[in-house]
Each structure stands twice: as C-alpha cells, then as structure tokens.
Amino acid sequence: MAPIKSNIYKLVNMMDYVSEEQAVFIRGPLDVKTLIEILGAIQFKFEELIDDSVTVEARHYAEILRKYYGMEDVTEMYKEFHEYTTMPSKKYWSMITNFKLYDYREGISLMVTLVELYQARESCCGPGYDELMNKNLPKDEEFERDIINLKPYFLQGNY
C-alpha cells in the first residue's frame, strides 16, 4: 500500500452538521494539536470582536486558515469522501476521529482527521485562553478586520 498523505482535516460542527454541503476539507502543514489550538483561538477572537454567542462556520475557519496559516481548502477535491468520514451517530462524536481511506485517483492512502469544532473550542477554554490567543493568532490588523467584516453576517442571524 502507498504511503499515507497526512494533514488532511475535515472540519465539522456536530450541532449543525447534516449534509455534504457543510463539509469542509483542508490540508496543510499544521499538526492536529496546533490546529485545535488555532481553531479555539479563532473562535475566541470571533467572540471577542463580534459576540460571545457566535459559532464560527467551518467555511470561515477554512478561509482564515488558508489566508493566515498556509492551509489549503481542498473541499472540492475530497468531498467525495464525505460519506466515508462521518460519525455513525450524534451520540458518538469525538473531538478528533481519524479515517484511513484509499484515494484511487492518486493511488495513495489518506488519513483524514475529522475535527469537531465545538469540542475543539471547549478543549481550549480555561484560564489560559488569552495566552492561547496571543500564541496562535496573527499579530495583524488585517486578521481582525477580516473577522469584523463578518459581523453583519453573524448579527443578522445567518449562521
């Protein structure tokens, strides 16, 4: 069997994850622990700049991860694996679930890591969340502006 191509993630939120249209696949250099810390920090920044009730959508994470963290949105490339990378029941969600797949198009094995966004955020809560944000978020006005530009979307209840 061909070697595993790593660092492919599927971002989902178990609360509203119901269809292939919501599936977001990303690929890049981040290991899963770092990715989870970054996801948590991004969610906290949205809460700080927009509203603490905001739940960031997977597609917004993908755009931020692409722009600031060197990740690539590969949803179109991997969406056919959606049905093979889902949890059997909403009762059995984990923060991280690995799926080993075979990509017949490239003749390689893939490891797709499903990351449940709510649990990722919750795992980053606690007294050190501000340090987590300081460590993992870009020190860039454009980053904050990109989040603030989404404020009308979230405040109109589109999420």
Provide the token pair at 36: 């989870």
Ordered per-residue pLDDT tens for the chain, 159 residues: 444 445 899 999 877 655 556 779 999 999 999 999 999 999 999 999 999 989 899 999 999 999 999 999 999 999 889 888 887 666 667 899 999 999 888 898 889 999 999 999 999 999 988 999 999 999 989 999 999 999 999 888 765
Q: Going edge to edge, which strands form the sheet with 24-27? A: 72-73, 24-27, 4-12, 108-116, 96-103
What is the model's pTM? Answer: 0.89
DSSP E strands: which ranges in the chain? 4-12, 24-27, 72-73, 96-103, 108-116
- Contact between 128 and 37 under an 8 Å Cβ cutoff? The reply is no
Amino acid 16 reads D
